[in-house]
Chain A
Amino acid sequence: MVFTVAEFVSLADAVSELVTPGVSVAMEGFTHLIPFAVGHEVIRQRVTDLRLIRMTPDLIYDQLIGAGTASQLVFSWGGNPGVGSLHRFRDAIEHGWPRPLELEEHSHAGMASRYSAGASGLPFGVLRGYSGNDLAQHTNTIARIFCPFTGEELAAVPALRPDVGVIHAQQADRHGNVGLWGIQGVQKETILASKRSLVTVEEVVDELDARVTVVLPSWVVTAIAVVPRGAYPSYAHGYYERDNHFYQAWDRISRDRQDFEDWIETHIHQAGSFAEHLTLVGTEMEGDV
Chain B
Amino acid sequence: MTETLKPQRTGPTTDEIMTVVAARELPDYSVCFVGIGLPSTAANLARLMRAPNVVLIYESGTIGAKPTRPPLSIGDGELAETADCVVSVPEIFAYWLQAGRVDVGFLGAAQLDRFGNINTTVIGDYAHPKVRLPGAGGAPEIAASARTMLLMLRQTPRSFVESLDFLTSVGNFEGGKSRDRLGLRGGGPGAVITDMGVLRPDKSTGELMLTAIHPGRTVQEVVAATGWPLQVSSDLQETVPPTIEELTKLRALVGAK
Which A residues are within 8 Å of any B CB, using their own CB?
A: 30-32, 55-56, 75-79, 81-83, 85-86, 89-90, 93-94, 105-109, 112-113, 115-116, 127-135, 138, 152-153, 182-189, 213, 235, 237, 241-242, 244, 247
Contact = CB atoms under 8 A, between A and B. Distances in A.
Contacts of A105: 121, 135-136
A113 B94 contact: yes
Question: Would you list the 3 A-B pairs with minimal beta carbon distance, nearest first?
Answer: A31-B75, A79-B134, A81-B73
Given A31-B74, A127-B94, A93 B129 contact: yes
Counting chain B CB atoms within 10 Å of each CB, which of A78, A188, A237 scores highest?
A78
A81 B36 contact: yes
A31 B132 contact: no
A218 to B, nearest CB: 21
A235 B76 CA distance: 9
Contact of A108 (B132, B136, B144): B136
Interface residues of B, number: 54
A131 B88 contact: no
B77 A242 contact: yes
Given A105-B121, A109-B97, A128-B145, 8 more contacts: A31-B76, A55-B89, A79-B134, A85-B134, A107-B139, A183-B60, A184-B88, A242-B76
A86 B37 CA distance: 16
Given A30-B60, A77-B134, A77-B136, A132 B93 contact: no
14 contacts: A31-B74, A31-B75, A81-B75, A82-B37, A90-B132, A94-B129, A107-B141, A109-B94, A112-B90, A134-B168, A185-B89, A186-B90, A189-B88, A242-B77
Q: Main SS of the interface on chain A?
A: loop
A138 B90 contact: no
Contacts of B145: 128
B1 interface: no
B136 A116 contact: no
Contacts of B141: 107-109, 127-129
Contacts of A235: 77
A183 B79 contact: yes
Given A32-B60, A77-B134, A82 B72 contact: yes
B184 A132 contact: yes
B182 A131 contact: yes
Interface of B: 36-37, 59-62, 71-77, 79-80, 86-90, 93-94, 97-98, 121, 126-141, 144-145, 166-170, 173, 179, 182-185
B80 A133 contact: no
Counting chain B CB atoms within 10 Å of each CB, which of A31, A94, A113 scores highest?
A31
Contacts of A134: 121, 126, 166-168
A71 to B, nearest CB: 16
Contacts of B179: 132
A237 B86 CA distance: 13
B41 to A, nearest CB: 11
Contacts of B72: 81-83, 242, 244, 247
Contacts of A112: 89-90, 93-94
A205 to B, nearest CB: 21
A182 B83 CA distance: 10
A289 B149 CA distance: 39
Given A107-B141, A109-B97, A128 B79 contact: no
B89 A108 contact: yes
Contacts of B184: 131-132
A183 B62 contact: yes
Counting chain A CB atoms within 10 Å of each CB, which of B62, B90, B137, B166 scores highest?
B90
Contacts of B127: 138
A152 B183 contact: yes
Contact of B77 (A75, A189, A237): A237
A94 B132 contact: yes
Contact of A135 (B62, B90, B136): B136
Contact of B140 (A30, A32, A135): A135
A186 B76 CA distance: 16
B75 A108 contact: no
A80 to B, nearest CB: 9
Contacts of A94: 128-132
Contact of B61 (A30, A127, A131, A237): A30
A237 B76 CA distance: 10
B135 A109 contact: no
Contacts of B93: 108-109, 112-113, 127
Nearest to B119: A134
Contact of A109 (B98, B121, B182): B98
B60 A106 contact: no
A88 to B, nearest CB: 11
